[in-house]
Every structure is written in structure tokens, then in C-alpha cells.
Structure 1
Amino acid sequence: MKVLLTGATGYIGSAVTDHLTAAGHQVVALTRSAEPQPGRSWHAQVVGDTADPASLAGAVTSEIEAVIHLAPPSGDADVDTGVIEALAAPLRGTGRPFVYTSGIWVLGATGEAQEVTEETPTNPIGIVGYRPQIERQVLAEAAEGVRAVVIRPGIAYGRGGGIPALLVERARGQRAPEYYGKEDVRWPMVHVDDLAELFVAAVERAEAGTVWHGVGESAVPVRDVARAAGRAAGVLAAPHAVSVEQAAEVFGPQFADALALDQSISGAAARTALGWRPGRPGAVAELVSGSYRPVEVFGAPDGPETDDEVAAIRRLVAEVEHAQQNELVDRFLSLFRRQDPVWTTGHGKRLSGLEEISAFTRQVLPGATAESTAVYDVERVLFLRPDVAAVNVRQQPILHDGARIADRPEGRPLYILVKEDGTWRVGAAQNTIAVD
């Protein structure tokens, strides 16, 4: 299909462009000027501005087979109503899809209800006050022969962007991670690439007059997100609460209210009816060991294949951390290759073979994290061969609230990882205590 996409240059729009193109569709980007934008995988550009509905006349030609409206709202209900009219009118009687992007904030605080569904009545907070009205306008187009669909994304993350990037930047600037409102606030979240796949599914097969929640994780504790954002910023400290009133001085009252909004929202309907399968790392994992933390890579060409291998290596190191923090002996041992792994501990004890490593681990790991633990961050990856990598890891001791233990030295593990049967495993490891 030729898909007219508003907001094509934005955070979500860029991901949607990639996934539409990968699915064989042609993206016609609505942009405010005709100036070419090299590097975009668009089929074509048309000029128009969603702040000026009159400029959209003629944007939806007979060749346009679908419209996805991703551009942010203008803040003026009349303007946004005019935009919907301009984009939807040419589709009437064609059965072609019109997908509108709303958001989960239209539901307001969900209270004690868990994983509320698309059937839940709207109760919008101020920043999205008139969006339910726009949703109804879009859905009414189903009676006019338009395959009208509404998607309500959760808080998007991934690709180093979205609101989590704001938390990372705030943690870096304030030298402490922060969250807003009460400690028990939860955010429904979705990886931006998973969300983009939902837009593809919706434009291809969602029925007219339907609403879908684009939510991969229904209720992520915001304190966990803040702690992970601090780690992404290189700030190991316990996250602290910022009152809504204080946040309003920085972000404005409406956005501050949104950041402090507690919600638990289900995205199950899209999984069941549209076959949507969000499967990328969760928000906390992505912040800790994904796109928000750059890694130096050597010995391999730039490109998606190398990116995938580095992501797999980071997941392995995250598994090491998880097993150590939770004293999971068998899980830790499963991360080593079966044949002749070697390990030198931080105190210089040399262990050869899985039997020795197992005996040592079963002796020292239980009870080791009673008072403190450590975090493991991949800093450099050198591919010696496509299936062998040397990995520099930074190991920092922390208290259980995430705060760095200042008077305890870091460890600097070097892992030699081997890819066997498609899975990276530890073939050799040496830890070195860093002493100033």
C-alpha cells in the first residue's frame, strides 16, 4: 500500500516508516516543506502542515491507499478537528484505512483496576483533554465507509528516545535519578519498534471502528524506570521523588501531571485479534543495557547484524548480573560454555573447567549479596571472529537501593565469549579489581 504518514520525521514516525517499508509498503511522508531529507526510506514527500488544515487539501490523492496520522495534536481542538476532516474525507466510501494516534493518558488514573481494556470509559487528564472528542470523530468515519482505527500507545521507549531519554538527561544533570509524584506510580510502556509493528498490523487488518492499546508492559513501576535511567546516565544513586508541584516548575503543570499519572493498562486485545507480538526488551532492561547506553565496538562492520550481536552480548552480561544479584547458582553456571571454560576470580583464584567453577560458585555465591551487590555494564566489544568476542565490563558495587558504594573498588571483568549453536556463552573470564 501507499501510506500517507503524518509525523514521519518524529520519534515514533521514524520507526513506523522503517517497519512499513520492511513490510513492503510505500511511505508518502507529509512534511512542512519540500526540502529533501536524505537517508529517509520514504517513497515520496507531499507538503502540508497539520497546524493548518487548509494546507492538507489534495494530500490524500486517489493513489493513497491508507493514512496514518502520527503528528502530535496542535493544542487547538478546532484545528485538530479540521485535520481529521481533511485527511478522512477523501477516503470515504473506499474502505481504506485511516489510523489515528491517540494515547493512554485519555484514560486517566486507573486506580485499583488492573490492566484496564479498550472498553474502559475515557477520563482524560488536562494535557489530552479533548482527545476523546477526536477519537470519536475518527471512529465515526467507519459509518462513512472508512476503515477508521484508533491506537493508544503507552509510553514509548527504545532507540535511545522518548520520555525515558528525558529521565536519563535529568539524572545526568541532577546527578541523581528522579521520578515524579508518588512512589507507587506505574507507567504502561511499549518499545517503539513493537509499537511500529502494531501500526503495520492495524493498517493491514484492523477492523473499522476499533480502538487498540499499544502497550507491551502494562504497569512498570516508575521508581524502577528512574533507577534504570540513572544507571543509563552513569549515576548510581537511589532514585528520589519529585513532587508534582516541583515538577510543574520544570515541565509545566500539565506535563507534570502526566508524568505522575498512575496507570495499569492491558495491550492483550491487539495480541489476540491482530496477532501483535511485542517481544523486545522491557523498558528497564532497555535503559540498563540497550540503546540508552552506547558501547564501543571494534572488529566488525557497522550495521544491523553487528547491532544484533552486540545486543545479544549485552543480554548475556545482564543475565550474569541477574544471576549474581539474585544468587542463582544454576542460572549463573548455565551461562558458561560446556567445554573447558576457565575463570580467574577478582582475588586471583584460577578455575579450570565447569566442575571447578561450579564447586567454587556453590560455595561463595549463596549469601554473598546479603548486604550489597553489583551492576555490570558492557563498555567495549572486540570481535576477534564473528563467533568470538572479547568484552570489557565495568562492575560497580552497589547497595540494594541502587546507590554506589563509594569506598569499595570496582571490578573490571574481561570476558571471552563464544557463540555456540546461535547462543553467546562465557568461554573464559578474568576479573581484575581496579585500584587507584
Structure 2
Amino acid sequence: MKVLLLGATGYIGSAVADHVTSHGHEVVELARGNGDRPGRERRIGDLADPDSLTRAVTPDIDAVVHAATPTGDAATDAAAVDALLAPLRGTGRPFIYTSGVWVLGATGPVPAGEDAATNPIPIVGYRPGIERQVLAAAADDVRATVIRPGIVHGRGRGIPALLVDLARKHGTPVFVTPGDHGGEPVHWPMVHVDDLAELYAAVLQRADAGTIWHGVTEPAVPARDLAHAAGRAAGVLAAPRAWPVAEASEALGKAFADALALDQRVTGDAAGARLGWRPRRPGAVADLANGSYRAYEVLGADDGADDAADDDVQAIAALVAAVEHAQQNELPDAFMSLFRTDNPVWTTAHGKRLAGWDEISAFTHQVLPGAMRESTAVYDIERVLFVRSDVAVVNVRQRPIRLDGDPLPDAPEGRPLHVLAKSGGTWRIAAAQNTQVVRG
């Protein structure tokens, strides 16, 4: 297909362009200015100029994807959609409109599916009307569909990047809550931007006309957990603090602050069942704590295989996050599953040397249960060195924290060193040593 893409340089649109291209389609950018990207055609159009949009949808365009940021004016956005749809009517060509889960409003305890009634918050108040306008085009032989992304993370951008910036600014992680004291829980439906882009490709290729799809991989991630992870990405280790929406409104504006305080549970299971969508990227908390929002050195990666190296770095970050999870939750079996079975070795922070899977397992099952009654630790990657494509050395900073997330300033830090080996596509710990930091 030759796909006209609005918003191709934006956060979601740039990922959509990458993935649609990887599926063998040709992307044509619709932008307000001149200047083709290498290998990519650009056409000129503006959401405020309907005629320019209609002119851009020429007969050689096989599909249109609208992933541009709305103008904020209902009449302007409705006119833009009409202008884009006009050349598609009677042709059976696809049209995808990007909405969002905020049109659902507060959802209650049961995750909302695509058939849930809309109850938009003010910041997206007119969006349901645009959705209906798009879906109505199915009656005119347009394969019109709507995608509602959750809160998008990944590539170090989006609303989660704001949480990182807020943690730096406040000196502590913060999350917006509707009450004065943070007593009311707030959950966000989340999706990785690259998984979301794969959904666009699936909808473009296989979705029926007149359908809505939720781009959500994690239905309800606690905002407190996201804030805590954002603090770690910012280098701010502290218990998250509730930020009452009244205070947040002064800094962020009321409409946006209300959106961040919205408690939602949303399911995107329909896309997996009906379109074969198979998300595979890290979850939002892991991505914030040890993924694309964290800066650490990666050395020795093959420059000619960037995608493979990125996948390996993500897998290594996920392994370190799994070490942290197993330790924090006192899960000896989960911890041992991260070691390879073939002759692993480990030296503990207290100098105990362990050799072989059985010896390490026996020690872990003896000491881990009950070890986190009063405190635990976080594990942050600082450096990854690829010795070979299947062997990596990882420097980790282990920082003790109280169970509420505040640091234990007088407790010694650890400096774990993990030697990882990849076999059968899976990274495992082959050797590890932890060294305590002695404060002089």
C-alpha cells in the first residue's frame, strides 16, 4: 500500500511510519512544510486548510492514517476529517483515525472494552463526535476505523517523560491524584509506542470497516508505580508523593491535570483475538526504571545490527528488572530461573563463593525468604559491555531502600557485576559478583 500519514514526524506517527514501512508499505508524509526525507515522499497539507488535505489524497494513495495532533477546535478537526474522507468515499480504501482512551472517562473496576460508552473528560470533549464521524464513513464504502491508544510510553518520550522531568523538578517522584491526600487510587492503561505502531499496521491490513480498537497492553498500571520508576530514571530515589490535582493544575493547567488524575482500566484484548496483534515490548514500569528513559552506556554492540542490539539491551534490562523483582518479593525460584543451569558461579556481597546451580539454589532458598522484612533494594544498570554477541557484562548499582521506597542513606550500596550468556535466544546469568561499597 501507499499510505498517506498525517503526523509522521510526531511521537506516535514516527513509530507508525517505521513499522508500516517494515511491513512493506510505502509511507507518504503529509506535512505543512517542504523537504522530503531521504527515500520518503512528502506532500503539503494543513489541518486548518481542508482543500490542501483533499488534494493530498490522490488516486495513487491506497490508505490514509491520521495520527496528527488535533488542533483543539472541534469544527476545524471535523472539517479536516471530512476533507480527508471525501476522496476515499466509494473506494473501499482504509482510513484510520487516532483518538484515545480518555474519551471513556473514569471506567470503574471492570476494564472497558471497545463497546463501552464514552464519557469524555474536558480535554478530549469533542473527540467522540469525531469518532462517530469517521465510523459513519463505513456506510460510504470507506474502510474507516478508530484506534484509541492508552498512555503511550517508549523511546524515552510521551507523558512518562513528563513524570521523569517532574521528579527532577520536585526532587521526589510525584503522581497526580484527584483527592487532597492521595487516598484515591489512580491507574493508567499503557502501551509501548512500538507495540502500538504494530497495531496500526494490523488495523491497516486486516480490520473491518466501522471498527474501534484499543491500543492497550497493560490495562491498569498504578500511577504511583509509574512515578516511582520515573524517579529512578531521573536519578531521584524516594517514595512517590501524591500531588493533589488542585496543586498540579497550577503547574500543568486544569484540563491536563484532570486527565493525569483519571483512574482508568481499559482492555485491548480484542486486537489480539481478532487481528493477531502480539505486543512484545517491556511494560511501562520496566521501561521507565531500566529502559528507554534511563541513560547508561552500551559498549561493544555491533553497529551493523542496531535492531538486534537494541533487542538484546531490552532483554538484558528485563533480566536485571527480574532480579530486582525476585529479590524484592522474596521469590527464590524466580531468582534461580534467571541463572543458566550449566555451572553458574556467584560471589555474594559478603564474600561467600558459590559454584553450580544446586549450591546457589540451596543458598538462595535458605537466605532469601524473610530477608526483605524491613528493607529491600533497587537495581539500576549503569553499563552494558558486549564481549560477544552472546556474552555481556553488566554493571549494576544496588541501592537499599525502605519498603515505602525511601532510600536508606546509612546502608551500604552494592555494585553487582553480572556476566550474562545468551543461549536459545534467552539471556541468563552465567556468573555474578556483588561488592559492597565501603564508605570512608
What TM-score do you get using the length of structure 2 for normalisation? 0.95
Query: Contact 2:190 / 2:219 at 8 angstroms: preserved in 1?
Result: yes
User: Distance in 1 between the 2:223 and 2:101 partners?
Assistant: 16
Question: Which stretch of the first structure deviates more once superposed, 195-204 or 51-60?
Answer: 51-60
Aligned pairs for 1:46-125 (under 5 A) are 46-112=43-109, 114-125=110-121
User: Distance in 2 between the 1:331 and 1:269 partners?
Assistant: 31
Query: Contact 2:330 / 2:370 at 8 angstroms: preserved in 1?
Result: yes
Q: CA deviation at 1:346?
A: 0.8
What residue is the counterpart of 1:399 in the other structure? 402
One of 157, 166, 172 as aligned partner of 2:162: 166
Q: CA deviation at 1:376?
A: 0.9
Instruction: Give the residue type in structure 1 aligned to 2:133.
Output: Q
What residue is the counterpart of 2:273 in the other structure? 272
Deviations 1:24-44 (A, max 9, x none): 110000011112345xxx631
Change (3 A) 1:371 1:139: same
Deviations 1:169-219 (A, max 9, x none): 111221111100144111111111111111111111111111111111111
Q: CA deviation at 1:143?
A: 1.3
What TM-score do you get using the length of structure 1 for normalisation? 0.96
Is it true that 1:138 corresponds to 2:134 in the alignment?
yes
User: Distance in 2 between the 1:348 and 1:186 partners?
Assistant: 42
One of 342, 356, 364 as aligned partner of 1:339: 342
Aligned positions, number: 432
Is it true that 1:36 corresponds to 2:36 in the alignment?
yes
| Moved segments of 4+, more than 4 Å | none
What residue is the counterpart of 1:427 in the other structure? 430
C-alpha RMSD of matched pairs (Å):
1.4
Change (3 A) 1:400 1:105: same
Query: Contact 2:2 / 2:61 at 8 angstroms: preserved in 1?
Result: yes
- For structure 1, list consecutive stretches of 5 or more residues without a partner in the other structure: none
User: Distance in 2 between the 1:63 and 1:105 partners?
Assistant: 35
SS at match of 2:212: strand
Deviations 1:294-314 (A, max 9, x none): 221112223111111111111
Aligned pairs for 1:240-259 (under 5 A) are 240-259=241-260
- For structure 2, list consecutive stretches of 5 or more residues without a partner in the other structure: 179-183
One of 330, 353, 371 as aligned partner of 1:368: 371
SS at match of 1:245: helix
Query: Contact 2:379 / 2:398 at 8 angstroms: preserved in 1?
Result: yes
SS at match of 1:176: coil
Deviations 1:34-79 (A, max 9, x none): 12345xxx63100111133233231000000000011111111111
Aligned pairs for 1:172-321 (under 5 A) are 172-182=168-178, 183-302=184-303, 303-321=306-324
User: Distance in 2 between the 1:329 and 1:121 partners?
Assistant: 45
Deviations 1:239-289 (A, max 9, x none): 111111111111111111111111111212222221212232211111112
Aligned pairs for 1:338-357 (under 5 A) are 338-357=341-360
User: Distance in 1 between the 2:332 and 2:261 partners?
Assistant: 38
User: Distance in 2 between the 1:279 and 1:313 partners?
Assistant: 14
SS at match of 1:317: helix
